[in-house]
Structure 1
Amino acid sequence: MTQTTAITKAILSFRDVEAKLNLQQSTDPHLFYEWNESLPELSNAEEISLERLSARYLRYLEEGEVNEGTLNIILLSPLLDALGLCDPPYRIRGEAWVEVQTTIDAEEGMTLLEGRIDALTLQEQFWLVIIEGKRGGFNVLQAVPQTLAYMAATPHPDRPVFGLVTNGYDYLFVKLVRENRREFALSHNFTLLSDEQSNLFRVARVLKHLVSIAGTNMGNGKLGSILER
């Protein structure tokens, strides 16, 4: 018998990720090498756009007006546009429902996890997940377990899946591998006001690089975008 449970109720911690999704955090520092290898340079126009977006976000943050909705409007969608990810050969499609099948308990049978989150998916291989920017004590690391659940829903288990979890101020990249082994790994946590190597410029360079890898893996050059709630 198949039961249905919301991802937001079933996957709350890294322990849930291991027990219910059969995913383990890798101890191999080389599993997620892509975020720290040779990265593409940004054009002058891209750098000017990113400086403007950083300044805009900080103004909204000072006024206490950053939430999931405004974050997408003032920062993330313009960021994708500035990097050329909203135009052909990429395309944007609407809201979608995500389901993950998993066997949580042999006696209970198969459990179907389902739900929606605020996210953009690029080519079904890259998830950009938005979390509430002003929840007290809520950081990007706490959002990783549910992000992994959604990443596990992609229909290509033979290909690595990448993700970016952000609240606008902190940025954490995720890699999920399910071929031969079921592991995930995390990048450093980049913050908006850190040094030159860890600000929005670095985030944008990593994003461009991982998206290009995802596009190569998919081989079709298309972008699927999901705005979920």
Structure 2
Amino acid sequence: MTLTVEASSLSLNDVHRFLKLEKLSNASFVDFLSLEPLSEFEQQDLLKIRNDFDRYLSARKISEGLVKFLTIAPLMRLAGFYDVPIRLTMEDSIAMPAAVNNAVEDEDRRITGRMDILAINSPQSNVAPPFWVVVIETKNSAIEVGEGLPQLLTYAFKSLEQQSSVWGLVTNGLRYQFVYLRRDEQPSYQLMPLLSLNESPKAIELLQVFKAICKLANFQ
């Protein structure tokens, strides 16, 4: 009998055990990405995103849906994720095998769930599999980003069946935790430095990281 487990109910220890996923020591963005300076326009647009989010956060807790609308959507637009060849999908609109109903078999357990946002590089050929650029899990502003890490790792792990590495992000709108997963002989992941939208240097680095990850799609 197969036991179905929701990804949202998993702990980090569960993820490590079920997926045989190893946590490596934390890493730096510059180990994997080339971060470029922002233009004056990008910095001004970033400031507006920060101010808009702060205005809502000062009034009340921000829902998961509003976090996507206020921060993720404008940040990804500014970083270039709305451009060809990248295609964005959300939750049940994901059009790829096991993307809507994620499943990873481990003995008698089946882990299921839905990704919040997935950015993929759509191949020109129908034969080639899509390249997952980044997997994003969002939470409301009152939840610490670490609580969404087990879900994110589960969803991002699925991509390692067809590619050697993938970027993941879990955020509550204010804090941003990027994760880098690799297949190798032993699947593993590394946490990147925690970034914050309300701290100017960290906010700038946040957009730089988004832009650098976006550019990876052009090399696939």
* TM-score interval (norm. to shorter): 0.7 to 0.9
Residue 169 of structure 1 is aligned with which of 174, 184, 194? 174
The structural deviation recorded for 1:155 is 5.5
The structural deviation recorded for 1:86 is 0.9
- Please give the alpha-carbon distance, in whole angstroms, between the structure 1 residues aligned to 2:145 and 2:155: 15
Q: Which residue of 2 aligns with 1:75?
A: 71
Residue 180 of structure 1 is aligned with which of 185, 190, 208? 185
The number of equivalent residue pairs is: 203
Q: Which residue of 2 aligns with 1:99?
A: 102
Unmatched segments (≥5 aa) in structure 1: 104-108, 220-229
- In the alignment, structure 1 residue 112 sits paired with structure 2 residue 110: yes
- Please give the alpha-carbon distance, in whole angstroms, between the structure 2 residues aligned to 1:80 and 1:30: 21
- Please give the alpha-carbon distance, in whole angstroms, between the structure 2 residues aligned to 1:151 and 1:3: 21
Asked if 2 retains the 8 angstrom alpha-carbon contact of 1:172 and 1:188, the reply is yes
Query: SS in structure 1 opposite 2:158?
Result: coil
The structural deviation recorded for 1:22 is 0.7
Equivalences for 1:35-46 in 2 at 5 Å? 38-46=34-42
Asked if 2 retains the 8 angstrom alpha-carbon contact of 1:102 and 1:113, the reply is yes
Q: Which residue of 2 aligns with 1:131?
A: 139
- In the alignment, structure 1 residue 33 sits paired with structure 2 residue 28: no
Residue 213 of structure 1 is aligned with which of 204, 213, 216? 216
CA spacing shift, 1:112–1:125, aligned 2, 3 Å = farther
Aligned amino acid, residue 133 of structure 1: S
Which range is displaced more, 69-78 or 187-196?
A: 187-196
Query: SS in structure 1 opposite 2:164?
Result: coil
CA RMSD, 1 decimal = 2.3
Aligned amino acid, residue 65 of structure 2: G
Query: Percent of aligned pairs with the same residue?
Result: 25
Asked if 1 retains the 8 angstrom alpha-carbon contact of 2:85 and 2:218, the reply is no
The structural deviation recorded for 1:184 is 0.6
The structural deviation recorded for 1:118 is 2.5
- Please give the alpha-carbon distance, in whole angstroms, between the structure 2 residues aligned to 1:183 and 1:92: 25
Which string of whole-angstrom CA distances, capped at 9 and with x for unpartnered residues, describes residues 105-153 of structure 1? xxxx34221112433334323112211112xxx3111211111001012
CA spacing shift, 1:191–1:101, aligned 2, 3 Å = same
CA spacing shift, 1:19–1:31, aligned 2, 3 Å = farther
Asked if 1 retains the 8 angstrom alpha-carbon contact of 2:86 and 2:217, the reply is no
CA spacing shift, 1:15–1:41, aligned 2, 3 Å = same
Unmatched segments (≥5 aa) in structure 2: 95-99, 122-131
- Please give the alpha-carbon distance, in whole angstroms, between the structure 2 residues aligned to 1:188 and 1:77: 22
Q: Which residue of 2 aligns with 1:7?
A: 7
The structural deviation recorded for 1:203 is 0.4
Asked if 1 retains the 8 angstrom alpha-carbon contact of 2:176 and 2:194, the reply is yes
Q: Please report the TM-score for the alignment, with normalisation by the length of structure 1.
A: 0.79
CA spacing shift, 1:179–1:192, aligned 2, 3 Å = same
Query: SS in structure 2 opposite 1:70?
Result: helix
- In the alignment, structure 1 residue 201 sits paired with structure 2 residue 204: yes
- Please give the alpha-carbon distance, in whole angstroms, between the structure 2 residues aligned to 1:32 and 1:110: 40
Q: Please report the TM-score for the alignment, with normalisation by the length of structure 2.
A: 0.82
